[in-house]
Amino acid sequence: MTKFLKVFAIGVLLVAVTACVWASEVRNQTDILSGLNNDVKEVSVHTVVTLGVSIFTYTYTLTYTQGTAAIHIFSVDNPNNVLFSAPATNSGFVLPVYAPYSMIQWGDNNGPFISQGETKWFSYESNHAPQDINVYAYAMDGGAYAEGSVPGMGATIPEPGSFAALAIGLLGVSQRLWRRRK
């Protein structure tokens, strides 16, 4: 009975360590969105992607560094039309709702807006792992925008339960091999 308890305790420990690894920061980077003219010339985007037990949280902090027009809309590509939840922002922009479109979009043409020098954040949650996607900061006065590539949700859904089952299975096999050697 004590050997069973030891194996069981090690299995529980492996599952606990696996869960702790998933509750961590996955990506943390700063990218520059570039515009074609001076209306929206440059926007700095700091992206942080964290992973809880099975949900990724994507947070984008925009700093409008160069340009003459106000930013009306912030959009993140959703190339696989996957579900997202819990959109949030401190910008006052209209929050996105899921629709089978290829973008997640905050804001509209009626304001409020982001002026040069301001910093605002936007976030959402998804069970899809990150991949590099396009993002856009639009100034609708004349259609100017800045674009670039940052981490966003992709098509892959990681399965933490599969890794835990694999760890427990490997533990059982190693215990069996150890017994044979004795």
Q: Give whole-number Cα distances, 92 to 64, 88, 114, in Å.
A: 16, 9, 10
167 in a domain, yes or no? Answer: no
Helix (H, G, I), strand (E, B) or coil at 2: helix
Tell me the residue range of the domain where 123 lies: 24-157
Report whether pLDDT(18) > 60. Answer: no
Residue scoring higher pLDDT (101 or 137): 137
Number of domains the chain is built from: 1
Q: For 87-107, how does the pLDDT look when each residue is reduced to its tens digit (9 = 90+)?
A: 999 998 999 988 777 888 898
Report whether pLDDT(127) > 70. Answer: yes
177 in a domain, yes or no? Answer: no
6 in a domain, yes or no? Answer: no
86 in a domain, yes or no? Answer: yes
139 in a domain, yes or no? Answer: yes
CATH number of the domain to which 50 belongs: 2.60.40.1170
User: Model-level pTM?
Assistant: 0.74
Of 17-26, 54-63, 145-154, 167-176, the least confident: 17-26
Cα distance between residue 172 and residue 167, in whole Å:
9
Q: What is the CA radius of gyration of the chain?
A: 22
151 in a domain, yes or no? Answer: yes
